[in-house]
Amino acid sequence: MKINLKTRSKRTMAQLITGLILTGLFTSQADAQTNKLPHSSGYVPNVSYTLKTETGNSGMEFVGVGGNIDGHINPILHIQPNSLVQITLINGDGAIHDITVPQFHALSGTVSTKGASATIVFRANKEGQFNYYCNMPGHRAAGMNGKIIVGKEIPVPSLTGISDISRNPADLPPPVGHRGPKSVQIFLKAEELTGKLADKTTYHYWTFNGKVPGPMIRVRVGDTVVLHLSNPATSHMIHSIDLHAVIGPGGGAMLLQTPPGKEKTITFKLLHPGLFVYHCGTPMVAEHIANGMFGMILVEPAGGLPRVNEEFYVMQSEIYTAGPFGKRGNQEFSVHKLLKETPDYFVFNGSVGALTQDHPLQAKVGDTVRIFFGDAGPNFASSFHVIGEQFEKAWPWGSLANKPIRDVQTILVPPGGAFMGQFKLREPGKYILVDHALSRMEQGLSGFLLVSGSPNPALYHSGGEK
């Protein structure tokens, strides 16, 4: 019996399936023996996928169409063992392509004009991980390569339920004020977790306390700090801390190498005021920093810092991913790119959009705002600049024992260095935080300072003099 799919709508699905069972065309998953398929249209795939070809800046790729693979580049196809699988290939770019899964002897015809399609069907009669790819010379290397997993489920990364690892720049401790030196207990926890790197992109971060940067530690000169570092048993790595404010070998890292499931404590006294970077000091240190393990410790001078209306905590870093900037899905770390110093991402507070979409800085006209800025690197200096402002007072290198320098446009901050600067807001609007090496803006590096209040036309207006 031949079943004409065009007439399917006139039958109920139950009738159709009954018919298939009766004619023996329908092979249950349990008794599938062979990879042979009926050549008529009388098959019912257990699972079907559609992939569209795409040629872009980052090469060539398959993009999922519909269902839970919609929009994913080279989506992983999860298939139950013995399923009858149909994959439809749609030509989306007008170049010549095909699709093959050689382990299942599946090879489509070629599609060479935009909108043309071809289909492969195969029975996934062995478990494991296999590849689908385009067979045209060079296309697989250019990126047309994806994975099929038959059997054991491997979760597909999805942004729902994925942590926002970026720290709100307004999240920092209050000023120390006028108190004398004392003993302060600080608790930090190493946390390895998958977080949002950019829209539709995730990354496996290593953090202090689940956010990037880690908590700002705010103390005063002469304080004694008792620092506890815990590393959960679920971690995969040893972690530690090197604080640039500490005097002693490794800045604390010699004594704080903490394996998974352990906690270690050190005590140190702070002799010098300043704004200092801290970071994980476990080999490969550059990798631990790039993955998010850094923060700052502010050692206020005696008497404390002068009061301002708003304070913000911002840190710049680079992220080295296997895939290029903007590639969707989970991005893995690339040690090759780290060693070549070719990051694909530059970010403020850990992720693309952290300080634009997620947590922009907010203040109002009349406020004096202070920015604590640190460059975690691991490799690139920052030419930190706020478009449309000048730092009326600036403390280069975070050196707070000195008088500030005045009216600075752009401040150079080395990796492992910091800067404190402030200005009074006099005109409402959107001010953009950048590294004035502006190519990095295209790789994720920008933040907004949103200023509310009344315009000040005597200071700034459209048109000629009034």
| Interface residue list for Cu ion (CB under 5 A) | 239, 280, 282, 288, 293
Closest to Cu ion by CB, 253 vs 299, is 253
The secondary structure of residue 164, as a DSSP letter, is -
Cα–Cα dist 214/172, whole Å: 10
What minimum distance in Å lies between the beta carbon of 293 and Cu ion?
A: 4
Closest to Cu ion by CB, 189 vs 239, is 239
Beta sheet of 183-198, edge-to-edge order: 262-269, 224-231, 183-198, 201-208, 329-331
Closest to Cu ion by CB, 101 vs 293, is 293
What minimum distance in Å lies between the beta carbon of 283 and Cu ion?
A: 9
What minimum distance in Å lies between the beta carbon of 206 and Cu ion?
A: 5
Which residue's CB comes closest to Cu ion?
280
What minimum distance in Å lies between the beta carbon of 291 and Cu ion?
A: 8
Residues composing the chain? 466
Cα–Cα dist 374/294, whole Å: 10
Provide the token pair at 257. Answer: 């190498």
Closest to Cu ion by CB, 239 vs 393, is 239
**205, β-bridge pairs:** 193
What minimum distance in Å lies between the beta carbon of 73 and Cu ion?
A: 30
What minimum distance in Å lies between the beta carbon of 359 and Cu ion?
A: 24
Name every residue whose Cβ is closer than 8 Å to that of residue 162 and which is 6 or more positions away in sequence: 194, 195, 196, 202
**59, β-bridge pairs:** 56
Closest to Cu ion by CB, 61 vs 287, is 287
Beta-carbon neighbour count of residue 43 at 10 Å? 18
Cα–Cα dist 217/388, whole Å: 30
Closest to Cu ion by CB, 276 vs 423, is 276
Closest to Cu ion by CB, 248 vs 259, is 259
**461, β-bridge pairs:** none
**417, β-bridge pairs:** 375
Closest to Cu ion by CB, 198 vs 280, is 280
Query: In 257-409, which ranges are continuous DSSP H helix?
Result: 285-290, 335-340
What minimum distance in Å lies between the beta carbon of 21 and Cu ion?
A: 58
Beta-carbon neighbour count of residue 181 at 10 Å? 14
What minimum distance in Å lies between the beta carbon of 203 and Cu ion?
A: 15
Angle at 58 between CA 329 and CA 204, to 5 degrees: 30
Provide the token pair at 100. Answer: 């093959």
